[in-house]
């Protein structure tokens, strides 16, 4: 039988494409962990609604049969919820732009204001629509649902004034309130800076006029789309009525005919032009709005990069490339994800769009060290990136070529004879630093020192070997004494060495789990012994190499302390928790780094922990061969990428203001795991480590 709707299958095709496009927007938001609730609510509910409507039209394309009753019960309520979410979400977006325009910041001033703002947005975007689509709708619900041939199951409400106020009015009142209350402020900011904006855009090719105008479109969504749609729907609602509108016919009258009803397409046509127009108009507004949202948020440069990133990363695994070099001058190419304190109200998130040209110009301007230090004088809370963004990071904006001149600086790198440590050491030597390469194996350590001297063309003083076994507390003391006998100051300490394995390994010389003993306790003891040299510098940095594995669920709220003690209890606990021991040690790195920052930050020490990225190196030497092979060809990057984040933390001017922070690949501020930010847990680990080193 032929479809009743003469335009079929245009609508279901458009609806499914609209749902797919919004799914891309949501995927990009999740991957970048950068959005506001308005965009999320709007994209999610529009995606769900358009998909449901497309399915409905396919199922009931040539019939008005009352079937799939439970399905219809559910989707008719979801359709109503979505109809409220649409104006509520655009209201949230415009309100967010208003807050940014009025505060000149993407961050609200205090936790209380942020909690209040979240409460308002969740109430508007979820609680209110669910209440209207549930108990409130039941007050005016005249039928369980109605099936219309060619359109599927639809909600059914009585034609009354109360229906208008409870259900229909939201599509007009919310956008109208937005236009009257919030839009003028946003428009005023753009208008007042219009001359500066035009001059800036005409003179600076780094900020696209298209991106700037996209922000105006986002701010005008209520005025250009939501309110006109609401008014048109109301007019058609009134004109299509078969009788005069009463306030409310009464509870019993409304619910007297509760069974589902059906209507053929020919019957729909008989009810008049306005009724047909309202049915089609209501139907098509959702995919049209979905495509508009995709155009605003799903086609930005950042979004397109997110779509392509997994494929590009797999390609790079096969043909790895070195990052392109930049000028050695300090260059800051600011990404709105990485530095959200710069007001760049990005249209992709609905919360970052450049409303102040002089701030927008920060997006890609060369700054001298004084300017950068002032820019980073007060950093907001770091963002929280998702799994995709961490495993397949965007193109680095800072590379080894940006390392400043380090002449006269003294640096110590643990594990500097191999992997990332060796690559970092070589670059430090090239920039003029005197680098102590600390390693357990004397022959390999000396060979690395001689190779670096040869490769860089520097003299014997440029690189020195330091015997250090982090699995032996006595060796650590000897190494520290050896270093302090040669140097009075230490500018940068790279706690880089580490081991990782998927199962149990040997114990340290003092009987601790080797991963925690080397990665955490060993570096803690070394750093404590070198504090006199670090403090004598006046502005030293301690770079603690951790991993994104510190965010493993099992360790977010604490450490498995029974795996850290010596003796039989330790062995049993290690066997029980074998798969998580590496993650625990990496959490320990961040806990120690943050505790060091709190205790010695005011004395001039900047302590930063970081995830260097997934890098091909000797670190995976204890992994099974098959696992190493798979990792190297899927998520592992060339070692030239692995040096970026440690060098940024240890040498860049920007990192001077990042004491106690955690960085992820490539040199991006990232919120550490919940447990790593627990000051009580930091202090407990510090006290535990102090207790273990007393005898040494």
117-127 mean pLDDT: 90
User: How high does pLDDT run on average in the chain?
Assistant: 79
Residue 389 and residue 666: Cα distance in Å, rounded?
Answer: 10
pLDDT value of residue 618: 59
In a domain, 358, yes or no: no
My answer on whether 413 and 293 are in the same domain is no
Run of H or E residues at 543: strand 541-545
Strand bridging mode 662-664 / 668-670:
antiparallel
Alpha-helical (H) ranges within 392-472 are 419-430, 442-456
Number of domains in the chain: 2
Cα(696)–Cα(477) distance, integer angstroms: 7
pLDDT of residue 90: 84
Question: Given 436, 586, 648, 652, which residue is catalytic?
Answer: 586
Structure tokens belonging to residue 173: 């009142």
Q: Are residues 299 and 411 in the same domain?
A: no
* CATH code for position 137: 1.20.1070.10
Distance set, CA 277 to CA 56, 206, 272, 285 (Å): 19, 46, 9, 12
The answer, yes or no, to whether residue 472 has pLDDT greater than 60, is yes
> What is the pLDDT at residue 213?
60
Tens digit of each residue's pLDDT (9 = 90 or more) over 165-189: 898 888 888 888 888 887 776 666 6
Judge whether residue 128 has pLDDT over 90. Answer: yes
How far is the C-alpha of 431 from the C-alpha of 423, rounded, in Å?
13
What is the reported pLDDT for 416? 93
Residue 313 counted as domain residue: no
Q: Report how far apart, in Å, the C-alpha atoms of 231 and of each of 219, 236, 383, 435 are.
A: 19, 9, 39, 71
Assign 364 a pLDDT band (cuts: 50, 70, 90).
very low
Each residue of 271-286: pLDDT tens digit?
A: 788 888 888 888 888 8
Picking from 66-75, 107-116, 144-153, 366-375, which range would have the lowest pLDDT averaged per residue? 366-375
Nearest to 151 by CA among 39, 256, 72, 33: 72
Residue 338 in domain: no
Catalytic annotation present for 546: yes
* pLDDT value at residue 333: 32
Residue span of the structural domain in which 416 resides: 405-692
Indicate if the pLDDT at residue 610 is higher than 60: yes
Give domain status of residue 492, yes or no. yes
Look at residue 504 and tell me whether its pLDDT is greater than 90: no
Phi/psi of residue 11, nearest 5 degrees? -65, -50
337 occurs within a structural domain: no
82 carries an active-site annotation: no
- In the prediction, which pLDDT does 214 show? 60
Instruction: Write down the catalytic residue from 582, 600, 637, 648.
Output: 582
Average pLDDT, integer, range 310-335: 47
Q: Where does a domain end: 279, 304, 329?
A: 304
- The CATH number linked to 619 is 3.40.50.720
- Domain boundary residue, one of 273, 304, 335: 304
654 within 8 A of 376, measured Cβ to Cβ = yes
Residue 351 — very low, low, confident or very high, per pLDDT cuts 50/70/90?
very low
Of 304, 322, 344, which marks where a domain is finished? 304
- Running DSSP on this structure, what letter comes out for residue 466? E
- Beta strands across the sheet bearing 463-467: 463-467, 434-439, 410-414, 492-495, 541-545, 606-610, 662-664, 668-670
Active site residue 326: no
CB atoms within 10 A of CB 408: 10
Please compute the mean of the pLDDT values over residues 194-221 and round it to a whole number: 51
Specify whether 421 is located in the same domain as 288.
Answer: no
Residue of higher predicted confidence among 58 and 332: 58
Per-residue pLDDT at 17 = 94
Instruction: Tell me if 344 is assigned to some domain.
Output: no
Provide the pLDDT for residue 293: 84
Domain-located, residue 347: no
Write the DSSP assignment of 531-552 as a string of letters. HHHHHHHSS-EEEEE--GGGG-
* Statement: residue 446 has pLDDT above 90: yes
Exposure on the CB side of residue 680, measured as CA atoms within 13 A? 3
How high is the pLDDT of residue 48? 93
Cα–Cα dist 348/296, whole Å: 7
Average pLDDT over residues 283-301: 83
pTM: 0.51
Catalytic residue among 142, 178, 546, 583: 546
- Is residue 290 domain-shared with residue 417, that is, in the same domain? no
Highest mean pLDDT among 30-34, 93-97, 408-412: 408-412
Q: Tell me: the pLDDT tens digits for 543-580?
A: 999 988 887 644 445 788 878 776 666 666 676 666 67
In a domain, 683, yes or no: yes
Check residue 471 and give its pLDDT: 94
Write down the pLDDT at residue 348.
35
Residue with more model confidence, 453 or 378: 453
pLDDT of res. 342: 32
Cβ atoms of 475 and 468 closer than 8 Å: yes
């Amino acid at each position: 039988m032929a479809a009743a709707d003469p335009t079929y299958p245009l609508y279901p095709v458009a609806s499914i494409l609209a749902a797919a496009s919004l799914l891309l927007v949501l995927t990009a938001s999740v991957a970048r962990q950068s959005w506001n609730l308005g965009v999320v609510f709007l994209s999610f509910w529009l995606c769900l609604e358009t998909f449901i409507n497309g399915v409905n039209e396919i199922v009931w394309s040539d019939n008005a049969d009352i079937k799939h009753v439970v399905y219809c019960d559910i989707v008719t309520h979801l359709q109503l919820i979505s109809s409220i979410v649409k104006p509520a979400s655009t209201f949230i977006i415009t309100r967010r732009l208003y807050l940014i325009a009025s505060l000149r910041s993407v961050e609200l001033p205090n936790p209380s204001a942020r909690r209040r703002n979240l409460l308002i947005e969740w109430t508007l975007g979820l609680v209110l629509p669910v209440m209207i689509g549930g108990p409130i709708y039941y007050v005016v619900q005249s039928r369980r649902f109605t099936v219309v041939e060619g359109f599927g199951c639809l909600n059914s409400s009585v034609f009354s004034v109360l229906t208008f106020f409870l259900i229909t009015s939201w599509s007009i009142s919310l956008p109208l309130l937005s236009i009257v209350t919030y839009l003028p402020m946003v428009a005023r900011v753009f208008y007042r800076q219009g001359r500066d904006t035009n001059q800036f855009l005409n003179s600076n090719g780094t900020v696209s006029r298209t991106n700037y105008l996209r922000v105006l479109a986002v701010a005008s969504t209520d005025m250009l789309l939501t309110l006109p749609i609401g008014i048109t729907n109301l007019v058609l609602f009134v004109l299509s009525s078969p009788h005069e509108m009463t306030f409310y016919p009464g509870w019993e009258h409304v619910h007297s005919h509760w069974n589902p009803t059906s209507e053929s397409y020919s019957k729909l046509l008989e009810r008049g032009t306005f009724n047909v127009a309202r049915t089609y108009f209501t139907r098509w507004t959702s995919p049209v709005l979905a495509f508009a949202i995709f155009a605003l948020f799903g086609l930005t440069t950042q979004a397109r990069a997110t779509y392509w990133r997994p494929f590009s990363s797999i390609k790079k695994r096969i043909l790895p490339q070195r990052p392109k070099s930049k000028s050695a001058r300090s260059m800051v190419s600011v990404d709105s994800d990485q530095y959200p304190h710069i007001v760049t109200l990005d249209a992709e998130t609905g919360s970052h769009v450049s409303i102040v040209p002089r701030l927008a110009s920060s997006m890609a301007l060369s700054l001298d060290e004084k300017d950068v230090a002032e820019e980073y004088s007060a950093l907001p809370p770091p963002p929280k990136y998702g799994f995709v963004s961490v495993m397949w990071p965007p193109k680095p904006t800072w590379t080894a070529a940006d390392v400043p001149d380090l002449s006269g600086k003294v640096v110590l790198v643990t594990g500097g004879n191999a992997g990332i440590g060796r690559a970092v050491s070589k670059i430090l030597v090239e920039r003029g630093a005197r680098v102590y390469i600390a390693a357990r194996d004397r022959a390999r350590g000396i060979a690395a020192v001689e190779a670096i001297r040869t490769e860089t063309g520097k003299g014997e003083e440029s690189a020195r070997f330091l015997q250090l076994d982090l699995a032996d507390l006595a060796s650590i003391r000897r190494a520290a004494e050896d270093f302090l006998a040669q140097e009075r100051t230490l500018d940068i300490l790279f706690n880089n060495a580490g081991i990782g394995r998927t199962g149990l390994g040997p114990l340290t010389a003092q009987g601790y789990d080797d991963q925690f003993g080397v990665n955490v306790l060993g570096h803690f003891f070394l750093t404590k012994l070198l504090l006199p040299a670090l403090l004598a510098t006046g502005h030293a940095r301690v770079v603690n190499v951790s991993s994104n594995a510190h965010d493993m669920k099992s360790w977010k709220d604490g450490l498995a302390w029974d795996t850290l003690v010596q003796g039989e209890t330790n062995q049993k606990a290690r066997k029980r928790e074998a798969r998580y021991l590496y993650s625990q040690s990496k959490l320990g790195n961040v806990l120690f780094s943050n505790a060091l920052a709190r205790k010695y930050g005011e004395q001039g020490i900047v302590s930063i922990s970081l995830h260097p990225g997934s890098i091909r190196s000797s670190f995976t030497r204890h992994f099974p061969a098959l696992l190493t092979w798979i990792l190297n060809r899927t998520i592992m990057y060339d070692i030239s990428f692995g040096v970026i984040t440690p060098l940024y933390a240890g040498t860049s001017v920007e990192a001077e203001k990042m004491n106690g922070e955690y960085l992820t690949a490539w040199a991006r501020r990232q919120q550490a795991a919940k447990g790593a930010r627990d000051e009580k847990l930091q202090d407990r680990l510090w006290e535990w480590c102090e207790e273990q080193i007393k005898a040494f």
